[in-house]
Amino acid sequence: MEITQSYFETWLKAQEKLFDGFIENTKRTQQLFLSQKYPALSGDAGGFNNLYSAWSSAVLKSLAEAGSGSEAIKDNLTRMLGGSNAYMKLYEVWLPLMKAAQERSLNPDAYKDYIDPSKYKELIDKVFGFDSDATKLMLNQAVQFLELISGSGQQFTTPWIEASKASLEAFPQFMQGHPESFIKIFHSLFNAFDNTVGRVFHVPPVGKDREKFELILRCFDDLSVYAAKNTEYQHTIYITGLTAMDKVVERLAEKITSGEEIKQFDEFFDIWIDTSEQAYFKLFQTEEFAKLQGELLDTALNVKAHFFRVMEMYFSDLPLALRSEMDDLYKTVYDLKKTVKKLEKQLKEVSQ
Amino acid sequence: MKQPFLSFDTKSLIKEFGDFNAKFIKGVGALTEIEEIDVGTAPKELIYEEDKLKLYRYSRNDPSTCRTPVLIVYALVNRQYMLDLQPDRSMIRNMLDHGLDVFIIDWGYPSKVDMYLGLDDYVNGYIDNCVDVVRGVAQSERVNLMGICQGGTFSVMYAALNPDIVQNLITVVAPVDFSTNDGLLFNWSKYLNIDALVESYRVIPGDFMNGGFLMLMPFNLNIRKYVDMLDVIEDKEKLLNFLRMEKWIFDSPGQAGACIREFIKYCYQENRLAKGELTLGGQLVDLRNITMPLLNIYASADHLVPPAAIKPLNDLVGSQDKTLYEFKGGHIGVFVGSKSQKELAPAISKWLHDRDSAPEPEAKIAEESKSAGTETAPEEVQDIAPKKPSRRKA
């Protein structure tokens, strides 16, 4: 009961806040439109979207806190918010185009001046579920974990970790760069490390610890390879998105030239969706993309596999059932079940 | 100043966004008012359980008009209630209304303890056991086997190994020839390191599979669908229709590691089934052994299982009586589209009834054996497998 009450309170507050803000914002936006002062991305439109995002987060939070109700409804609401957020994000991307059109300064050749690449990247991130913050967090946590288990006295990893973090922070710039250059950065990082501190591990075997350290080093290498491949993959996706945007503008220009008028954002939205879908379908059909996607998954799985091995090594002395031990157990259960079923069938046949 | 190529009506834009946000707010309200998304409501009885599998028989108010029961084998990747999504979009109810005795397998949700279950366990284990139960319960020597999507591929394997038990085979959007590059999944699978994937997960999560499906049409499936939904969100019935479909799409069981490994490797990557090179439980799965009547249904606009992967089955089997049925629509529309309700379920029922008045099983076996041999290079058939393999028992 308390949970329900708390949920509704949060929900009502969120609703009130949204409506108040929505009305205020609509008024202000309308005034700006009518006075020919168009909301800029970082100005009032940004304010609108911030409000919208804050509200949608509050709604999700209240639903999550409720702790009851249908999971399917909550999941659907999350997806609906995701779709609507992307819709709003497209509006953000499109707003400067509209502004320029109103100022009668837009032409097909110059449209790129009005597209903010970082906003467009955010939009594509939403479509494909890329979460660069989550990626960074995951990699940072992985690095911290490896640092922790490799021992507090082993400061040799610090320079590598710092360099890796610096590279990851440059992630948003990737869409305007070339994937090859970043792959080189990651590999040179590892090679530099391997050729300096890494030499420690090239000495003859000195016990079981060597195996652990080698595995940890391998994890670092896996992480760098994964990050590089992920960069290449996302770069391919972004570039296709920008190419699709070129086509969107071409299609708009064709329509206008033939005498049609684009009056509503939804018309732009439809053209953008259809054109983008076609562009990505064309990309996805290629052998190159299929190969790249396969390689990306492979590198991610390598990271996971070596992490699991490291964890098994370090947890082996604890009173826990390890993954490999559970695998053996599952295999035994599987074999026994199969044998029992076979015997039961034979018994049944004999008795008939 | 250059001439602009775009012009907009600012007042209508403000109204448009006001409308969008108003719809969105109403939508959230409407969603939170829905307590339950009911699916699969046609009455049924649980008649058999094995591990996580459940076998159901749908309830009938009157006796079946078709002597042979229908066993539906659904895919492992989604849930079987797609066939009974809601009362007015239910292939199951339609089949019952047309006089059929319908059984269905619910595969359940595999967990890590199921990671070693392979294709052989599913086809020669679970399906075979269900067939036995259906035959016993319905007191019928044979079953009509109806396989959906991946379940159709399994059914083809089963029918090839047990042709004397399957009276009629119906495959619905079931891939058999994986050599095509028409579908994205077929292209992508060729570069999938399935060994590493299974090693990593043991049971491949449903969300992982769904991620791949959403990538097939990312803009429509991640954005447009939800923006369009806002147009119908105030209509509770339409909203519920939408939510039922959403529930089905994202209700994806995990995939037992050994089975998905074999399915991807043997079928998608090596195309062993169509090549006649697949063995299960030590036996060759020879499609020429499929001599019973075949109804092979494909959807002309299927983006998941393209027609090129489905149609070749008719050339690979030994059946004389074989029908290739084109449904004008997509993969999902086959089951829930209004056209499907009016057209497909009645057509399946008619096809089965037409073959139900056939001669007694013994006489039919002899006839089929003879005709199958004539059509499909008898020497080769005899070299590889007996014309009429006896029922294989474990």
What ipTM was reported for this prediction?
A: 0.82
Give yes or no for residue B129 having a pLDDT over 80: yes
User: What is the residue-averaged pLDDT of chain B?
Assistant: 86
Chain A residues near residue B199 by CB distance under 8 angstroms: 301, 305
Q: What is the pLDDT of residue A24?
A: 53
Q: Tell how strand B166-172 and strand B203-204 pair up.
A: unpaired
**Strand, helix or coil at B206?**
helix
Q: Which 95-124 residues of chain B touch chain A by CB within 8 A?
A: 112-113, 115-117, 121
CATH code, residues B44-356 = 3.40.50.1820
C-alpha distance from B74 to closest chain A C-alpha (Å) = 22
CA B184 – CA B173 distance, rounded (Å): 16
pLDDT tens per residue across span A83-115: 777 777 787 777 777 666 666 555 666 666 667
CA B168 – CA B319 distance, rounded (Å): 10
CA A252 to centroid of chain Cα atoms: 30
Burial (CB count <10 Å: 0-12, 13-18, 19+), residue A99: buried
In the block, residue with structure tokens 């079981």: A208
CA B368 to centroid of chain Cα atoms: 27
Instruction: Decide: B334 and B348 in contact? Cβ < 8 Å.
Output: no
Higher pLDDT residue, A276 or A41? Answer: A276
C-alpha distance from B11 to closest chain A C-alpha (Å) = 8
Q: What is the pLDDT of residue A200?
A: 54
Compute the average pLDDT of residues B236-254: 91
Which segment of A35-49, A76-90, A156-170, B221-235 scores lowest on mean pLDDT?
Answer: A35-49
Give one DSSP letter per residue of A33-86, joined into a string.
Answer: HHTT-PPPTTTHHHHHHHHHHHHHHHHHHHHHHH--S-HHHHHHHHHHHHHHHH
* CB-based contact, A3 to chain B, within 8 Å: no
Helix axes A179-195 and A208-257, enclosed angle (nearest 10): 170
CA A198 – CA B309 distance, rounded (Å): 51
Compute the average pLDDT of residues A24-47: 41
A 10 A CB-CB count for A135 gives 16
Give yes or no for residue B60 having a pLDDT over 50: yes
Give yes or no for residue A136 having a pLDDT over 90: no
- Percent of chain A clearing pLDDT 90 (strictly above): 16
Q: Please tell me the number of Cα atoms within 13 Å of A141 on its side-chain side.
A: 8
CA B122 to centroid of chain Cα atoms: 15
Chain A residues near residue B211 by CB distance under 8 angstroms: 129
C-alpha distance from B98 to closest chain A C-alpha (Å) = 33
Q: Choosing from B66, B130, B149, B267, which is the catalytic residue?
A: B149
**Strand, helix or coil at B144?**
strand
Measured in degrees and rounded to the nearest 5, phi and psi for residue B50 equal -150, 120
Give yes or no for residue A266 having a pLDDT over 50: yes
Judged by CB atoms closer than 8 Å, whether chains meet at B31 and A76 is answered as yes
Where on the phi/psi map is residue B289: left (φ > 0), alpha (ψ -120 to 50), or beta?
Answer: alpha
* CB-based contact, B208 to chain A, within 8 Å: no
Q: Which of A139-148, A243-252, B194-203, B363-372 has the largest mean confidence?
A: B194-203
Q: What is the pLDDT of residue B94?
A: 94
Give one DSSP letter per residue of B326-362, joined into a string.
Answer: EESS-TTHHHHSHHIIIIIHHHHHHHHHHHHTSPPHH
Judged by CB atoms closer than 8 Å, whether chains meet at B8 and A301 is answered as no
Higher pLDDT residue, A292 or A219? Answer: A292
CA B371 – CA A257 distance, rounded (Å): 65
Compute the average pLDDT of residues B299-324: 96
Interface test with A, best of B6, B222, B391 (most A CBs within 10 A): B6
CA A119 – CA A45 distance, rounded (Å): 13
Chain A residues near residue B220 by CB distance under 8 angstroms: 273, 277
CB pairs under 8 A between A and B: 205
**Strand, helix or coil at B20?**
helix
Domain ranges of chain B: 44-356
Domain ranges of chain A: 2-114, 132-320, 321-352
pLDDT tens per residue across span A318-340: 889 999 999 999 999 999 999 99
Instruction: Decide: A265 and B18 in contact? Cβ < 8 Å.
Output: no
Q: Furthest-apart CA pair in chain B: how many Å? A: 88
Which segment of A14-28, A297-311, B128-142, B293-307 scores lowest on mean pLDDT?
Answer: A14-28
Is B259 among the catalytic positions? no
pTM over 0.80: no
Among the partner residues B18, B190, B223, nearest to A83 by beta-carbon distance: B223
A 10 A CB-CB count for A240 gives 18
A56: pLDDT confidence band, cut at 50, 70 and 90?
low
Which segment of A52-66, A102-116, B89-103 scores lowest on mean pLDDT?
Answer: A52-66
Q: What is the pLDDT of residue A316?
A: 85
Compute the average pLDDT of residues B211-236: 87
CA B155 – CA B143 distance, rounded (Å): 12
CA A193 – CA A198 distance, rounded (Å): 6
A 10 A CB-CB count for B315 gives 12
For residue B204, CA distances in Å to B76, B201, B211, B270 come to 12, 5, 12, 21
In the block, residue with structure tokens 């009032």: A44
Among the partner residues A18, A34, A105, nearest to B2 by beta-carbon distance: A105
A294: pLDDT confidence band, cut at 50, 70 and 90?
very high
The dihedral through the CA atoms of A121, A125, A130, A134 has a sign that is positive
**Strand, helix or coil at B111?**
coil
